[in-house]
Amino acid sequence: MSRYEEVLNTIKLNCTSAWLTNGQQVCYEAVLARLRYPGLYNLYGEHGVGKTFLGWVLNKKVGVVYIPHLSQVSYLKSIPDILVVDNCGYLRSEFREALKVLQLHQIRKSVLISHRQIQDDVHALEVNASSEDMQIARENLKSLGYAVPDVPCPDLWDLLYMTIGGFVP
């Protein structure tokens, strides 16, 4: 296992809602409120703002099922009450295809994570990361025992790459 995978797995195992940044906390609460009812919700934002991390926290804290890609729906052993699907397309045609797959598998509540807002009639919430959010993420990594460099990082993925001693791709 690579150092990158090791760190990601450690984050997944240890993440809690207490680790959410202020911006992520707002999104987390909005998603929880929305998921009391059947339907779809789109969580979107630029690269490295914490969308995937939110999916992990929802998985761990609330018990939703998280999958990194829509193609993995067919591998689910049972119908989840709530499904979080990462790396979704934002185009209307991609959304409609995802909708078909979710309906085929009888999934009534889901959060679709995408880089841009889905171009269709779906509740959507944008995730952003401020400099304060970056500092909270730094503290979270430090709490796991990682030496976090004090260098500017434009997003959370870059912060992770810098922390593991890698370069930003």
Q: What is the pLDDT, as a whole number, of residue 164?
A: 86
Cα–Cα nearest to 168, from 112, 58, 90, 154: 154
Question: Could you say which DSSP state residue 37 is in?
Answer: S
* Local structure of 42: helix, strand or coil: strand
Q: How far is residue 81 from each of residues 55, 59, 106, 108, 110, measured CA to CA in Å? A: 15, 12, 10, 7, 9
pLDDT at residue 100 above 50? yes
Residues present in the chain in total: 169
Q: What is the pLDDT, as a whole number, of residue 150?
A: 85
pLDDT at residue 56 above 60? yes
- Residue-wise pLDDT for 61-99, tens only, equals 888 999 999 999 999 999 999 999 999 999 999 999 999
The predicted model scores a pTM of: 0.91
pLDDT averaged over the chain?
A: 92
Domains defined along the chain, listed by start: 3-126 (3.40.50)
* Banded pLDDT at 165 (limits 50, 70, 90): confident
Q: How far is residue 75 from each of residues 5, 56, 65, 88, 94, measured CA to CA in Å? A: 22, 19, 12, 17, 20
Cα–Cα nearest to 116, from 24, 63, 47: 47
Phi, psi angle pair for 158, to nearest 5°: -65, -40
Nearest-angstrom CA–CA distance, 75 and 146: 34
- Residue-wise pLDDT for 120-139, tens only, equals 999 999 999 998 999 999 99
Mean pLDDT for the stretch of residues 111-119: 97
* Local structure of 65: helix, strand or coil: strand
* 84: CB partners within 8 A, 6+ apart: 55, 58, 59, 64, 65, 66, 67, 110, 111, 113
The owner of tokens 């295809």 is 97
Going through the chain in order, the beta strands assigned E by DSSP cover 39-44, 65-67, 83-88, 109-114, 123-126
